Structure 1
Amino acid sequence: MYTDPRRHPVNFEVGDRVYLKVSPWKGVIRFGKRGKLAPIFIGPFKIIQRVNDQTVVLEVPTELAVINNTFNVCYLRKCMVDDETQLVPSSDLRVDLNQKLVEEAVRIVDRNVTKLREKEIHMVLVE
């Protein structure tokens, strides 16, 4: 009576690419920043096996070997990118000893200086 009539179950098949939801794992492993700027989904990862309708096994990189590779489908979102060249390789992920994701800047794209009444704020756009 109160459910969404347009809701349909999402079916995952072997070979599909999915994003993994990591926001409830704040006590276990942290990916990047805290609070609002923390990523909700990481990936995409490839499904290598379906255990049942609600459980799948993902192909996770060795950097994320501290977590189990079996997940419930409620933690997954389907990746809609068809072209493999548009995906960012997960081999670029680096996790330090505190199990935090290490991010490095590639290059500085643009610089801007905003002038207020008594001070200047330097803003940098980083790729």
Structure 2
Amino acid sequence: MAPYEALRRALEFGIGDHVFLRVSPVKGILRFGKKGKLSPRYIGPFEILERIGPVAYRLALPPSFEVVHNVFHVSMLRKYVHDPSHVLDFEPLQLNETLGYREVPIEILAKETKVLRNRSIDLVKVRWMNHQVEEATREREDEIKARYPELIDQRTFEDESF
């Protein structure tokens, strides 16, 4: 046994564990939906169906990967640790015929005056429909007032900073 192997333990997975599968991007080749260096390094998670030998595992791949063999070496796998923040809440969107949707503001969360060298700009923090509070954006108050006058009249602010 080599000295560097003494400090490492063998990577093992159990049946039913979930793992990411490493994909190697090849320049100019379209794989798994993206092209080139922006292609994903790992895809998944996939469930392990069985262990084949000491270092190979059979994965439950979706039907879209039917051209890919479903047995992989342990070096191609990375353990997936379930995190509830990885799961996104699904909210059905009202899509139009071009498969888009309209952004509509729900409420104004805060107001701030940005002071520049020779003028000041009134900004509001707007929460949009189909978005979480963390995704609220800063918009100019005069633009929001012109497009959505009913939104500005809902609440008055004491220059809250956001």
- Superposition TM-score tier, normalisation by shorter sequence: 0.5 to 0.7
What residue in structure 2 maps to residue 39 of structure 1?
40
Match of 2:9 in 1: 8
Report the counterpart of residue 53 of structure 1 in structure 2. 54
- Alpha-carbon distance in structure 2 between the residues aligned to 1:18 and 1:105: 33
Instruction: Output one character per residue of 1:76-106: Cα deviation in whole Å (capped at 9) or x when no partner.
Output: 00001166x9458xxxxxxxxxxxxxxx999
Give 1:78's aligned residue: 79
Q: What stretches of structure 1 of length at least 5 have no aligned partner?
A: 89-103, 113-127
| C-alpha distance in structure 2 between counterparts of 1:73 and 1:14, whole Å | 13
Offset of residue 63 of structure 1: 0.5
Q: Does 1:62 pair with 2:63?
A: yes
Structure with bigger helix share is 2
Gaps of 5+ in 2: 89-98, 102-129, 139-162
With over 3 angstroms needed to count, the CA separation of the structure-2 counterparts of 1:82 and 1:16, relative to structure 1, is farther
Larger radius of gyration: 2
TM-score w.r.t. length of structure 1? 0.58
Distance change >3 Å, CA 82–CA 53, structure 1 → 2: farther
Residues 17 and 63 (structure 1), Cα distance of their counterparts in 2 relative to 1, 3 Å cut: same
Q: Is the 8 Å Cα contact of residues 81 and 87 (structure 1) preserved in structure 2?
A: no
% identity of equivalent residues: 36
* Partners of 1:54 and 1:73 within 8 A in 2: yes
Deviation, structure 1 residue 8: 1.9
Q: Which moved more, 1:47-56 or 1:6-15?
A: 6-15
Distance 1:69 1:21 in 2: 13
State how far apart, in whole Å, the 2-side matches of 1:27 and 1:81 are.
33
Do 1:16 and 1:46's aligned partners in 2 also have CA atoms closer than 8 Å? yes
- Residues 53-94 of structure 1: CA deviation (Å, up to 9, x unaligned): 1111000000111101011111000001166x9458xxxxxx
For CA contacts below 8 A with separation 6 or more, give which structure has more relative contact order: 1
| Count of residue pairs the alignment pairs up | 97
Q: Residue 28 of structure 2 contacts residue 36 of structure 2 at CA under 8 Å; is this kept in 1?
A: no
Shift of 1:36: 2.7
Residues 26 and 67 of structure 1: CA distance in aligned 2, closer, same or farther (over 3 Å): farther
Report the TM-score, using the length of structure 2 for normalisation: 0.47
